[in-house]
Amino acid sequence: MMKTATALQQTATQHFYEDVVKGLTGTPKYLQSKYFYDAAGDALFQQIMHTPEYYLTRCELEILSAQAVAIADALGATPFNLVELGPGDASKSFYLLKELHRRHPEQAYFPIDISENIITQLQHALPARLQGLQVQGLCGEYIDMLKTTAYFSPRRKVVMFMGASIGNFTPEEAVKFCRRLREQMNPGDLLLIGFDLRKQPQMILDAYNDGQGVTRDFNLNLLTRINRELGADFDINQFHHFPTYDPLTGACKSYLVSNTAQEVLLGEHVIRFRKDEPIFMEISQKYSVDETRQLAAAAGFRPVQHFFDNKRWFTDVLWELSQNHNAL
Ligand code: AVI
């Protein structure tokens, strides 16, 4: 039976509640960064992308704007569905879409996002700018929605996972996620995936500690969201943002640290914080080119072509399925 919008919302809130309880009653405490993106979080992330310290977006924009023709060539001449996981406002992929649309005005684009807001906006905005472009937005979890694209069209697919979103998984989770993506792909399908590369450590740390405090607000906003949607009583003034970068492992991690010993009510739970106790909020893993190759191999892909920005701070890599991969 089809669920109504209200029932779906209730299920989503229930999952959110369960995940938050699990994270805040665990040791060490953590929250899942996928919950950053409510409407306020989306807006703060847009602001982060414009801060002088957050170089990632500018690097990837440079790649897509300067190399759209080369990328489109590498995707091959056989028609395909372009599927994008987490497109945001599609401002980066727009360059590629424009080039693909120039070649085939009937190009099909399937943006997948958990946010209905984003999908609705793209469905309206893109066909107005690129006439004839077929936009089929899919709202839900990436893998679930990826499965459904085959019902719409039997063409091969090119999946885009840009913006260094793969970095928001630990390296072990990244292998698992890429394997799950691979399970949904067939010979001839391609994956275009973005990695933020290892570089001078201070540059990386600064990107997650901008001078205007937008990244701080982005992290604290999740506590505000928990208050609003789950009825908790976090005092956000009693937490501070603490980003770290470990140049040995490439792990850039953000924490919210409790300024004081305090108790927070969350449903029937009382969450106790010690003074200086951290909540682990997010990982933004940085990769060497070699580490991207290792990830590809571990997940059953083969890198076909790398696209770099001028400074070589970022790469979008095209992966195809490797032939001799045994599904685990
Ligand atoms: C979405 N993701 C790739 C961003 C990143 O760089 O890890 C999220 C972000 N968190 C803080 N600043 C940006």
- Using CA atoms, how far apart are residues 50 and 46, in angstroms rounded to an integer? 7
Q: Is residue 163 within 6 Å of ligand 1 at its C-beta?
A: yes
pLDDT value for 176: 98
Which atom of ligand 1 is found nearest the CA of 282?
10
Residue type, 165: S
Nearest CA to ligand 1 atom 4: 165
Q: Is residue 48 within 6 Å of ligand 1 at its C-beta?
A: yes
DSSP letter string, 269-303: EEEEE-TT-EEEEEEEE-B-HHHHHHHHHHHTEEE
Which atom of ligand 1 is found nearest the CA of 164?
3
Which atom of ligand 1 is found nearest the CA of 252?
7
**In CATH, what is the architecture of 55-200+287-327?**
3-Layer(aba) Sandwich (3.40)
The whole model's pTM is what?
A: 0.95
Say if residues 251 and 259 touch (Cβ distance below 8 Å): no
pLDDT value for 55: 98
0.95 surpassed by complex ipTM: yes
Q: 74 vs 61, 192, 258, CA distance in Å?
A: 18, 10, 49
Q: Is residue 219 within 6 Å of ligand 1 at its C-beta?
A: no
pLDDT value for 6: 77
Count of C-beta atoms within a 10 Å radius of residue 134: 18
pLDDT value for 12: 86
Nearest CA to ligand 1 atom 6: 284
Strand-strand pairing, 251-258 and 278-285 = antiparallel
Residue ranges of the chain that CATH labels 3.40.50.150: 55-200+287-327
For ligand 1, pick from 115, 208, 286 the residue to mutate: most ligand atoms within 8 Å of CB. Answer: 208
Spell out the per-residue pLDDT of the chain, length 328, in tens: 556 767 767 888 999 999 999 999 999 999 999 999 999 998 999 999 999 999 999 999 999 999 999 999 999 999 999 999 999 999 999 999 999 999 999 999 999 998 888 899 999 999 999 999 999 999 999 999 999 998 998 999 999 999 999 999 999 999 999 999 999 999 999 999 999 999 999 999 999 999 999 999 999 999 999 999 999 999 999 999 999 999 999 999 999 999 999 999 999 999 999 999 999 999 999 999 999 999 999 999 999 999 999 999 999 999 999 987 665 5
pLDDT value for 324: 73
Count of C-beta atoms within a 10 Å radius of residue 301: 25
pLDDT value for 8: 66
- Using CA atoms, how far apart are residues 275 and 273, in angstroms rounded to an integer? 6
Q: Is residue 284 within 6 Å of ligand 1 at its C-beta?
A: yes
Q: Is residue 168 within 6 Å of ligand 1 at its C-beta?
A: yes
pLDDT value for 2: 56
Nearest CA to ligand 1 atom 5: 284
Q: Is residue 194 within 6 Å of ligand 1 at its C-beta?
A: no
227 phi/psi in degrees, rounded to 5: -60, -50
Element (H, E) at 23: helix 5-25
- Using CA atoms, how far apart are residues 286 and 267, in angstroms rounded to an integer? 37
Q: Is residue 174 within 6 Å of ligand 1 at its C-beta?
A: no
